[in-house]
């Protein structure tokens, strides 16, 4: 009696690995060793305060229903874990000797963690001085071999593509198709939660793997009859790193959103296809707009996401303020990574704490709201 009771409790509490939950839609078999940290199944939060703010910005009543897909709650704090559980599991199935990636930080944190769990060596190549501290901390703690190159992300990606081939190690950037397969799961979860696809999906764009994966995921679900429509894909790049908007690679990308500081996205064609097939848009947001959205998200909704993540919400604010969004519709904004990845940026963007004497009198003086 006792035993069966506890078994039941245990079973309901265990979160399923992403690969198990979506096994029917993923290229895995009984022979695939599932390497998981219980990724995915992230919150989809209705953002009512943000909706009211958008109406003020628009200067008219709006009936937009806005949801935040908060990917920062993944095990390593970003959406990368969805693709990495697939990439590392398949690499292990194929008898890998080690894995390698270039990264603006989150991919390396995720690759390092999943490789540690799989017991395979992991090499990560980062642009020197350009990744947020939290991400570097994660990679080194998981025992990855971290190599910082004097060059940007695009150069690092060129190097690892060549190195992976020469050394017969597995490349786990999103040019690895299993990464894209796993990342499709975010759009499946959204449809499962809302009962259908949203009308608009706003998403930050860097190397362009995620917008590509989301679009493919939405199309899969439509084809299987799990949804009745497709969303318009709305991608946002940082203004100083917007090759897809400019129509040409950017040699020296610039933005404080280091995660998307990318001048020549590997999934260029996938992003353009997502935009065109969905009748969507890919636009730019300035660093100021990114920081404004970053602060609004935390201040209005209690959702702390890293600056690059806020590019989706910055894009929504921009289009609403320009009168380029319809009055009603269902909108999902992806927030790609956790705010704690980049604590320095948060502190720089806020007022410092007030320092007072340790007396009740001094404290009381500060408690005027
Ligand atoms: N947001 C965050 C927080 C990211 O880390 C990335 C990409 C993106 C958005 C853009 O996604 O590349 O699929 O268009 N980070 C990669 C990395 C490049 O190395 O961690 P994308």
The HSE-up count of residue 23 (CA atoms within 13 Å, CB side) is: 10
Q: Where are the alpha helices (DSSP H) in the chain?
A: 2-13, 18-21, 48-58, 80-93, 106-118, 133-141, 153-167, 177-183, 185-194, 209-223, 243-246, 268-277, 287-301, 311-321, 343-348, 360-365
What the block records as the tokens of 72 is 């920062």
What the block records as the tokens of 136 is 């570097």
- Cβ pair 280, 229 in contact under 8 A: no
CA of 207 to the centre of ligand 1 (A): 6
Predicted pLDDT of residue 14:
78
> Which residue is associated with the tokens 């705010």?
339
Q: What is the DSSP letter of 168?
A: T
Site to probe by mutation for ligand 1, drawn from 260, 267, 270, 345 as the one with most ligand atoms within 8 Å of Cβ, is 260
Q: Which residues pair with 232 in a beta bridge?
A: 200
Given a cut of 50, the residues of the chain with pLDDT beneath it are 1-4
The angle that helices 48-58 and 287-301 make with each other, rounded to 10 degrees, is: 130
103 in contact with ligand 1, CB cutoff 6 A: yes
Q: What is the position in ligand 1's atom list of the atom closest to the CA of 203?
A: 9
- Cβ pair 56, 62 in contact under 8 A: no
Burial 73-96 (b: 16+ CB within 10 A, else e): ebbbbbbbbbbbbbbbbbbbbeeb
91 in contact with ligand 1, CB cutoff 6 A: no
> Ligand 1, atom 19: nearest CA belongs to which residue?
103
206 in contact with ligand 1, CB cutoff 6 A: yes
Predicted pLDDT of residue 15:
85
Predicted pLDDT of residue 1:
42
- Cβ pair 72, 339 in contact under 8 A: yes
pLDDT tens column, 14-23: 789 999 999 9
260 in contact with ligand 1, CB cutoff 6 A: yes
Burial 306-328 (b: 16+ CB within 10 A, else e): bbbbbbbbbbbbbbbeeeebeee
Alpha-carbon distance of 191 to 195, in angstroms, equals: 5
pLDDT tens column, 321-342: 999 999 999 999 999 999 999 9
Predicted pLDDT of residue 248:
98
Could you write out the DSSP letters of every residue in 177-190? HHHHHHHTHHHHHH
Q: What is the position in ligand 1's atom list of the atom closest to the CA of 271?
A: 14
Predicted pLDDT of residue 11:
54
Predicted pLDDT of residue 368:
84
Predicted pLDDT of residue 84:
98
């Amino acid at each position: 009696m006792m035993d069966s009771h506890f078994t039941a409790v245990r079973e309901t509490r265990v979160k399923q690995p992403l690969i198990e939950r979506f096994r029917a839609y993923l290229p895995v078999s009984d022979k695939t060793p599932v390497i998981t940290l219980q990724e995915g199944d992230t919150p989809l939060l209705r953002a009512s305060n943000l909706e009211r703010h958008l109406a003020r910005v628009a200067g008219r009543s709006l009936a937009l229903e806005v949801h935040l897909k908060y990917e920062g709650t993944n095990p390593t704090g970003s959406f990368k874990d969805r693709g990495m559980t697939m990439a590392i599991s398949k690499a292990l199935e194929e008898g890998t000797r080690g894995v390698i990636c270039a990264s603006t930080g989150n991919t390396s944190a995720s690759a390092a963690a999943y490789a540690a769990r799989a017991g395979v060596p992991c090499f990560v190549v980062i642009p020197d001085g350009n990744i947020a501290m939290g991400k570097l901390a994660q990679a080194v703690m998981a025992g990855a071999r971290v190599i910082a190159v004097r060059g940007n992300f695009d150069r690092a990606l060129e190097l690892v593509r060549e190195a992976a081939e020469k050394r017969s190690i597995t490349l786990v950037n999103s040019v690895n198709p299993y990464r894209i397969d796993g990342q499709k799961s975010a759009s499946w979860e959204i449809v499962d939660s809302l009962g259908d696809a949203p009308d608009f999906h706003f998403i930050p764009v860097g190397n362009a793997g995620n917008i590509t994966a989301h679009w493919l995921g939405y199309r899969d679900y439509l084809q299987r009859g799990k949804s009745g429509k497709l969303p318009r894909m709305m991608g946002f790049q940082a203004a100083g790193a917007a090759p897809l908007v400019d129509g040409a690679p950017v040699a020296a990308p610039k933005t404080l959103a280091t995660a998307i500081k990318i001048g020549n996205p590997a999934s260029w064609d996938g992003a353009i296809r997502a935009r065109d097939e969905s009748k969507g848009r890919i636009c730019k947001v300035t660093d100021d707009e990114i920081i404004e959205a970053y602060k609004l998200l935390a201040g209005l909704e209690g959702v702390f996401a890293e600056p690059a993540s806020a590019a989706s919400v910055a894009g929504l604010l921009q289009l609403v303020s320009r009168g380029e969004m319809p009055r009603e519709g269902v909108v999902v904004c992806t927030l790609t990574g956790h705010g704690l990845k980049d604590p320095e940026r948060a502190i720089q963007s806020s007022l410092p704490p007030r320092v007072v004497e340790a007396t009740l009198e001094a404290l009381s003086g500060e408690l005027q709201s």
